[in-house]
Amino acid sequence: MSLAHGRHYLAIPGPSVMPDRVLQAMHRPAPNIYYGALADMTDAMIPDLKRVACTDGHVAIYIANGHGVWEASAANVLSPGDRMLALCTGRFGFGWAETAGRMGVEVERLDFGLQAPVDPARVEERLRNDPGHGIKVITMVQVDTATSVKSDVAAVRAAIDAAGHPALLMVDCIACLAVDEMRMDDWGADVVITASQKGLMTPPGLGFVFFNARAKARRAEVETVSMYWDWVPRSEPEMFYQYFNGTAPTHHLYGLREALSMLHEEGMENVWARHATLARTVWAAVEAWSQDGPLAFNIADPALRSHAVTTLHIGKEHGPRLRQWLTDEAGVTLGIGLGMETVEKRDSDGYFRIAHMGHVNAHMVLGVLGTIEAGMAALGIPHGKGALEAAAAVCART
Ligand SMILES: *Cc1c(COP(=O)(O)O)cnc(C)c1O
């Protein structure tokens, strides 16, 4: 007998759970794409989108996933032969670096390993050693989804300014926009990129590039930008089709409209606070489990952990078995370990990830924790006691 019958819960870091309101908004016939309600809805959505990133700047929307907006953002501010400094805190910083490298950009990587955030002091030191200001763009990932480490965007901006360096700061917030706090304008990010399928609770397929006046000025200096990636018509469309350089992603737009309404009905501050509390709920359980047996946080310091996803080490003899048990017997799928091969020569199978991003509430998080407890008991994986009481206590205190 399996206890997995019932609504399956995909607790992986993207795609995240899609709210019924989002799904229902998408369930309708094709709209008029020439003029009328869809065009008006899209115009009205732009300010709501910018409020999620806390910016008064510009936004371009692409029919693309996160990998697509890595390329879109690079295409607008970098030309072949230009230099870029990629700050890497796990897997995703390297992905963005590789994307730009394939476009002919000269990429230098600063690697902070798999268990630490960006160190602003190292960034400042590197930039002081670039007196000719050859580095045009600095990329960083606010939350690396593989390691679950969170880096301090404002501190990196301060380091760039302290070095007196004019490079643009571009930030990948794909894992964490509308989850972890992000204040694009206040924190001095020139470009922020995200995608629809994580904190924005919408099916995969839309990518977003937010950019400020500095990035816009840089775009004006770039001689050739491919027609599809060019953010100019997308952010200042004269005709509706220019938003998307072709047919609009009609049903994604209905879904996104609903998701944005849900976020702003709750309020961004409350959205961030909910995720902070649910993350602490997960951590309280893990803290107790890890008192005995193999389970351990990848990021030891809670201040450096994302509120979107938590990466845990359990050993490769346990990780795949535990994930399989949860899927087959309890109806929950956890995230696999990703890109962790070089931490003390462990391998990614020894890791798993619990996502707590987007449309999640206390009962979903407590449910995941309860099934992990059951799975460890069923499989004879040693673990400390009191995890579920500790988790419930965090929810009770709010
Ligand atoms: C998910 C993710 C990506 C990649 O997004 P895709 O939609 O899978 O291409 C990039 N960066 C971060 C930080 C992510 O979490």
Tokens of 62: 């692409």
Residues of the chain whose pLDDT is less than 50? none
For 44, other C-beta atoms within 10 Å of its C-beta total 11
Nearest atom (ligand 1) to Cα of 175: 15
Expressed in angstroms and rounded, the spacing between residue 178 Cα and the centre of ligand 1 is 15
Cα–Cα dist 62/227, whole Å: 12
370 CA from centroid of ligand 1 (Å): 28
Find tokens 């609770």 and name the residue: 201
For residue range 322-349, list pLDDT tens digits in order.
Answer: 999 999 999 999 999 998 887 666 678 9
Rg (the chain; Cα; Å): 21
Q: Tens of pLDDT along 218-246?
A: 999 999 999 999 999 999 999 999 999 99
41 burial level (CB within 10 Å; 0-12, 13-18, 19+): middle
Q: What is the pLDDT of residue 343?
A: 67
Gap from CA of 174 to ligand 1 centroid (Å): 6
Protein residue with least CA distance to atom 4, ligand 1: 66
Tokens of 300: 């030891």
Q: Which domains does the chain have, with CATH numbers?
A: 9-16+267-396 (3.90.1150.10), 31-265 (3.40.640.10)
Q: Residue 106 has what pLDDT? A: 98
Strands (E), 183-301: 191-195, 206-211, 296-297
- State the pTM of this model: 0.98
Q: Cα separation of 335 and 13, whole Å?
A: 7
Mean pLDDT score of the chain, rounded to an integer?
Answer: 97
- Report the atom number in ligand 1 closest to the C-alpha of 173: 13
DSSP-derived secondary structure letter, 27 = -
Tokens representing residue 15 in the block: 């795609």
Tell which atom from ligand 1 comes closest to the C-alpha of 67. Answer: 9
Measured in angstroms, how far is the CA atom of residue 171 from the centroid of ligand 1? 12
Determine the pLDDT at residue 344.
Answer: 63
Query: What pLDDT does residue 342 have?
Result: 73
Question: Which has the closest alpha carbon to 271: 19, 15, 10?
Answer: 19
Instruction: Give every CB contact of residue 177 below 8 A, 6+ residues apart in sequence.
Output: 52, 53, 192, 194, 198, 199, 200
Query: Distance between CA atoms of 39 and 304, rounded to whole angstroms?
Result: 41
Q: Give pLDDT, residue 24.
A: 98
- Residue 328: the pLDDT is 98
Question: Whose alpha carbon is nearest atom 10 of ligand 1?
Answer: 66
Q: Looking at residue 341, what is its pLDDT?
A: 81
- Who contacts 132 (Cβ-Cβ below 8 Å, separation ≥6)? none
